Amino acid sequence: MSATELPLSSEQIKANRNSKMTFTEWQVEDKRFYALLAVIGLFVLAAAIAFFYVEHYGHYVTGMNNQVVWGMPHVFAIFLIVAASGAANIGSLGTVFNKKEYQPLGRLSLVTAMALLLGGLAVLVLDLGHADRLIIAMTYYNFKSIFAWNIILYNGFLVIMAVYLWSMMDRRKWANEFYKPAGYLGFIWRFILTTGTGSIFGFLVARQYYDAAILAPLFIVASYVFGTAVFTLALVFLHKFSGKELGQSIQNRLRYTLALFIALVLFFELIRHATNLYATEHHGVEAYILSGGDKITWLFWVGQILLGSLLPLVLIWLPSLRNSQKALLSAAALAIFGGFSQLYVIIIGGQLYPVVLFPNATVESTFSDGEIATYSATLPEMVLGVGGVALSLLLIVVAVKVLRLLPERLFDE
Amino acid sequence: MSNLIDRYRRKFLGGLGITAGAVTLAPGILLREVQAKPDDEAVTNKVRWGMLIDTNKLPDGGDGMVAACKKEHGWGDDPHSSPTQQSQWVRKVTFKDKLTKHETSLPVMCQHCETAPCVDVCPTGASFKRADGIVLVDKHICIGCRYCMMACPYKARSFVHEKLENQKPHSPRGIGTVESCTLCVHKIDKGEQPACIEAAPPKAAVFGDLNDPESTISKALAKHGAQQIRADLGLNTGVRYWGI
């Protein structure tokens, strides 16, 4: 790095931000806004009903059982939580890496991140056997549990992002003093947060498909894919819905960020599976995931690899599709589908494969030992999961409507 | 003075009488390995409860022990839960060696690990190990996250999927919480043996204090050794087996 490229001083950054950026609320007709709100609200309402239904009857109305203890709600919850960390990356690029092109999007990035985290946490909490005991989760801590740490990491993330956002938005000088420190802290916190989420599985010695340190970095790179994809869709939607122009250069930047991290996820997955395939003790679970032939295998090869990774890469890098917004949106949507497939394979697939009690033997029992378990999500689980996504979207659209989060102009100059 | 001597004499004779009486009338009580713990006395780590199961002496592979547990705690017949959602505190597992084709059946329940993964991962500390080595769930602070079920290498834990009625007063079970073998802690604290041990064929299962070198279980373990399921995980289980 040459001397001229040294990070800008906080005064310079403030000057840049103040001189070039004007922010505005989401300029959309009231009628259209409330119609949108109503549609999203219906999904949130449906999720609330689903929650009370499961709360009233118990988890027997779900597809989850004593073999597959975490189901579809967890796929949604973890997707949203991991995506939250990635969505805040746009803010980090502007603050920590001084990328000026991203600075106008910082506010939206942080709000999207907070909204995604809240949506994910809502699903996670509402699926608990005792959601009513949330206060216990907040007051009783076992610090050897990565789950307990995650509670602190998630709450801390919300606080840091809120301060970070405030330091961006408040025009008073002393508020701006917090901009850089909050940005750096948020950047570091994101890494720790996603490491913690990946370690929920990485720290599990019991199951063949987990118990691997690589799950933490895998979740970190995946967070960039999920977060960038969700942010891209949200940004384009917010502009289209209000009939505003969105510049090509920012879309191209998002396009390449997405592609880079999709490639990195593929690399980490390759290493993870290759390591497993090398160790005889993991041959069983790898054979099940990669070639078992049931929906997990399809979700891995077709969902995650083909449609969720390779096709988006083609859409992004095919010269004839350069500057095509449709290609970018398709790539982002496919990457999200790939992300859900990936998490389904990890979370559900990892549980469907039996716990190994006796490694050199064939095992059977009346409790599914030695056999592939079964799981299919029931309607309340799906509705609860989709409701988490809807809650995130609801928070985003309300936030952009009432706060000045969107840059006045984002078209190329 | 003579009065004082008389008093001493009476006291001495009385003490002798009580001792003699105790030895002749109730030798069983005094020699019992499992002693009742007064309710107001804290559990200590001086004892570590454990059990040893000889799979060669279980002609039914442990079915009788499973049935006894089910009867004692009342799990397994929850009206609405599907078969895979039913609780299963202990189950009979049959395994056949891939090379030798030797087949063995054994009852598998919570192994009451010294370093229990379920205790490590529990966010609230609801999953805990009592000082005497019994791994339990505090159902008042279990939030039903099921992380312990993900973490247990023995798949020993179950989640209660529905509201329950008419539960056993000594073994409360609750919707939305996780449960597993309690080693019949309610019986142990009264000086009794776990239900599965009582139901096992003679000499097929021993329960006792692993910390006491003079206990039957410790002597048997010292003389013949024993196996743990998934010993590679290094969890130092309280449940040991012969013949696996």
Residue A190 is predicted with a pLDDT of 97
CATH of the domain at B224: 3.30.70.20
B87, B110, B145: best to mutate for the A interface, most A CBs within 10 A: B145
Which element (helix H / strand E) includes A315?
helix A311-317
- List B135's β-bridge partners, or say none: B129
| Residue A4's pLDDT band (cuts 50, 70, 90) | very low
Q: What percent of chain B has pLDDT over 90?
A: 81
131-190 in chain A: CB under 8 A from chain B: 131, 133-134, 136-137, 140-142, 144-148, 151
pLDDT at position B31: 41
Window 273-302 of A: residues touching B by CB (8 A cutoff) are: none
A52/B contact by beta carbon, under 8 A: no
Q: What angle do CA B121, B126, B130 make, to 5 degrees?
A: 95
Which chain B positions have a beta carbon within 8 Å of A57's beta carbon? 80, 162-163
Domain total for chain A?
1
- SS3 at position A14: helix
Look at residue B81 in the predicted model and tell me its pLDDT.
Answer: 96
In a domain, A232, yes or no: yes
- Which residues in chain A touch residue B93, judged by CB atoms under 8 angstroms apart? 357, 363-365, 367, 369
Please check whether residue A371 touches B, CB under 8 A.
Answer: no
C-alpha neighbours within 13 Å on the C-beta side of residue A229: 31
Q: How crowded is the C-beta side of A247, counted as CA atoms within 13 Å? A: 14
Q: What is the CATH number of the domain that holds A303?
A: 1.20.1630.10
Asked whether the beta carbons of B145 and B114 are under 8 A apart, the reply is: no
- What is the span of the domain harbouring residue A77? 29-407
The torsion angle over the Cα atoms of residues B214, B217, B221 and B223, rounded to 10 degrees, is 60
Provide the terminal-to-terminal Cα distance of chain B, rounded to the nearest Å: 71
Residue A12 belongs to a domain: no
In a domain, A251, yes or no: yes
**Helix intervals (H) in chain B:** 2-25, 27-31, 63-73, 117-121, 147-151, 185-188, 195-199, 216-224
ipTM: 0.90
Specify the number of domains making up chain B: 1
Q: How far is A197 from chain B (nearest CA, A)?
A: 13
- The residue of chain A with its CA nearest to that of B230 is A357
Question: Is A264 inside any structural domain?
Answer: yes
| Count of CB atoms situated within 10 Å of the CB of A330 | 16
Q: What is the DSSP letter of B171?
A: S
The boundaries of the domain holding residue B79 are 2-242
Chain A residues with CB under 8 Å of B88 CB are 66, 366-367
**pLDDT tens-place string over residues A248-295:** 889 999 999 999 999 999 999 999 999 999 999 999 999 999 998 899
Residue A169: pLDDT over 80: yes
Contact in structure between B146 and A129 (CB atoms under 8 Å): yes
Beta bridge partners of B159: B178
User: Does residue A324 belong to any structural domain of this protein?
Assistant: yes
Residues of chain A found within 8 Å of residue B119, distances taken between Cβ atoms = 142
Per DSSP, the three-state class of B208 is strand
- Is the CB of A66 less than 8 angstroms away from the CB of B85? yes
Closest Cα partner for A260 from A225, A285, A311? A225
Q: Which residues of chain B have pLDDT under 50?
A: 1, 19-32
Report CB contact under 8 Å: A357, B122.
Answer: no
Encode pLDDT of A101-142 as tens digits.
899 999 999 999 999 999 999 999 999 999 999 999 999 999
